Amino acid sequence: MKVTAISIPVRDQEKALKFYTEVLGFIKKRDIPLEGGNRWLTLVSAEWQDGPELLLEPAPLHFEPSRVYQDALMEAGIPYTQFDVTNVEEEYDRLTRQEVEFSVKPTEMGTVKIAVFNDTCGNNIQLVEML
């Protein structure tokens, strides 16, 4: 078994695609039309294009427990997904210039430095730099 995809629940796939590619810098890999306007939409990291794919899935629109869970995580400030970066401060500067909102500014936490931002699609996302 191999890990090849991780899911991120989003309220609006098109808006998520724009944010994750234009603001964060991911690259679209697969965009397969499904029923009812839903898509099998995956992205890869620009610097690791044969790495795992991020699946932007519209679960909160079609499965209420998913929406409830996503809202509860957002409310509590909890990031369910995290991305590795080489420099959290640089990413923080780059993203705040693009008006991304951070709920946790760059903070040292033992052997890592973390920051948490709102992905505008219903999720808190954590950035992690290993110190």
Partner 1 sequence: MTFYESEISRIRDLCYANDKHLETVIATRNFIDVHYDQDLNLDLLSHHRLTSKFHLLRLFKRYYGLTPKQYLTDKRIEKAKEQLILGHTVKEACFTVGFESVSSFSTLFKAKTGKSPGEFQKEQFSRRDSDLEL
| d(C-alpha 53, C-alpha 103), whole Å | 26
Q: Which residues of 74-112 are buried (b: 16+ CB within 10 A; e: fewer)?
A: beeeebbeeeebeebeebbeebeeeebeeebebeeeeeb
* Closest to partner 1 by CB, 75 or 99: 75
Binding footprint of partner 1, residue count (CB under 8 A): 17
Show contacts with partner 1 in window 82-121 (CB under 8 A): 103-104, 107, 109-111, 114, 116
The DSSP H or E segment spanning 23 is: none
130 makes contact with partner 1 (CB under 8 A): yes
Q: Which of 78, 90, 93, 98 binds partner 1 (CB under 8 A)?
A: 78
* Residue ranges that bind partner 1, judged by CB under 8 A: 50, 75-79, 103-104, 107, 109-111, 114, 116, 124, 130-131
